[in-house]
Amino acid sequence: MIIYVMKILSMIKIQIQSHISLTDCIMFLIKAWRTVAFGVYGYLNFTKAGFLEHSKNFKAEDMQARMDGKNCIVTGANSGIGFATAEDLASRGASVYLLCRSKERGETALSKIQTKTGNQNVYLEVCDLSSVSEIKSFAARFSSKDVPLHVLVNNAGIIENNRVVTSEGFELNFAVNVLGTYVLTETMLPLLEKAAPDARVITVSSGGMYSAPLTEDLQFSDKDFNGVMQYARNKRVQVALTERWAEIYKDKEIGFYAMHPGWSETPGVAKSLPGFSERLAGKLRTWEEGADTIIWLALQPKQKLVSGGFYFDRSEAPKHLPFAATAGSHAVIDSIIKNLCSLTGIAS
């Protein structure tokens, strides 16, 4: 906490010396406050210690349900939180489809899950979630099965610190975290409707979204590209999308939920945020602890949940931190959806 305070004081000194305008100074202070508030709030709640404290209020009966006969898709399921989610759902008897970019890593995960759970109704679907065309191809292939989809877990995510553009012309973080989530969810709607009223979409966001308002600059046009900030913006979009989907599709009896898994010790975190991973070594959550609320959301009777809500450690959580000036930004979500429709050729 002291580190964050020292950081903000140092930044304020620099800005004062630069003789910036009052408006710019206010904006700077708001941004600095978001960073500090997120850091302090996160350290107190998102670590393993936070999970252990919150788990004192968990109810064992909430996690006893089976899922025999239900079909689930989990993206990014070859490792980390996605793997833990897929394994747990399989252990409950669900038919689980692992949606992975790497065939090799996906096959390894598939074998491990089948062996440990004894459930042979676990399948690998290879798909690059940074590619709109590949997602559409997968959707067409999967839809031909004509089976109800009870649970879609949008787990796959990426933090690419350098600006990388996909073959389709999209900034890579945005392509995976936003476009991938949007296209897969929209194309799976007919199968989700088949599973109504029990169908639900669970999108794995991040507490990082607390540090960013919603912005229409989806692909981060600023010349000083910041992968961590882009990730935070992407995760804010996911929360706002979930909120809007719940409104748009309320008559389809599909539940839409976003959640934050806390700070977990995953391969993605170690690769993309090595400094963060090292500083919090031993304090990060396990894969299973990160996946806990995903499973909880998949199992609860829908009348106990709020469609469009944001969840953390088995409870509905705030979408905005106090005085962070992010709440009003959600007003641009319809404009963002219109843009996503245009970019993907999918009408919402």
Q: Which of 204, 208, 210 is nearest to 241 (CA)?
A: 204
Residue 258 has pLDDT above 70, yes or no: yes
249 in a domain, yes or no?
A: yes
User: 92 — phi, psi (to 5°)?
Assistant: -95, 5
6 in a domain, yes or no?
A: no
8 A C-beta contact, residue 202 and residue 297: yes
Q: How many structural domains are present in the chain?
A: 1
Using 50, 70 and 90 to split pLDDT, how confident is the model at 20?
low
206 in a domain, yes or no?
A: yes
| pLDDT score for 43 | 86
Using 50, 70 and 90 to split pLDDT, how confident is the model at 1?
very low
Structure tokens at 326: 């992010």
Tell me: the pLDDT tens digits for 52-85? 999 999 999 999 999 999 999 999 999 999 999 9
The CATH number linked to 200 is: 3.40.50.720
**Model-level pTM?**
0.92
Find the helix or strand (DSSP H, E) in which 339 lies.
helix 333-344
Mean pLDDT value across the chain: 92
302 in a domain, yes or no?
A: yes
106 in a domain, yes or no?
A: yes
Domain limits for position 208: 46-344
8 A C-beta contact, residue 335 and residue 216: yes
CA dihedral 78, 242, 59, 112 (to 10 degrees): -10
How long, in residues, is the chain?
A: 348
Using 50, 70 and 90 to split pLDDT, how confident is the model at 19?
low
18 CB-side CA count, 13 A: 12
35 in a domain, yes or no?
A: no
| pLDDT score for 9 | 47
**Is 4 considered catalytic here?**
no
| pLDDT score for 287 | 97
Tell me: the pLDDT tens digits for 312-348? 999 999 999 988 889 999 999 999 999 999 999 997 6
Distance between CA 17 and CA 318 in Å, rounded? 36
Distance between CA 29 and CA 21 in Å, rounded? 12
Burial class (CB in 10 A: 0-12, 13-18, 19+), 252: middle
8 A C-beta contact, residue 43 and residue 1: yes
Tell me: the pLDDT tens digits for 266-302? 888 888 888 888 888 899 999 999 999 999 999 999 9
101 in a domain, yes or no?
A: yes
Q: What is the DSSP letter of 207?
A: G
Composition of the chain by helix, strand, coil, percent to 5: 55, 10, 35
57 in a domain, yes or no?
A: yes
Using 50, 70 and 90 to split pLDDT, how confident is the model at 6?
very low
| pLDDT score for 120 | 98
Tell me: the pLDDT tens digits for 104-156? 999 999 999 999 999 999 999 999 999 999 999 999 999 999 999 999 999 99
Exactly one of 231, 249, 257, 311 is catalytic; which is it? Answer: 231
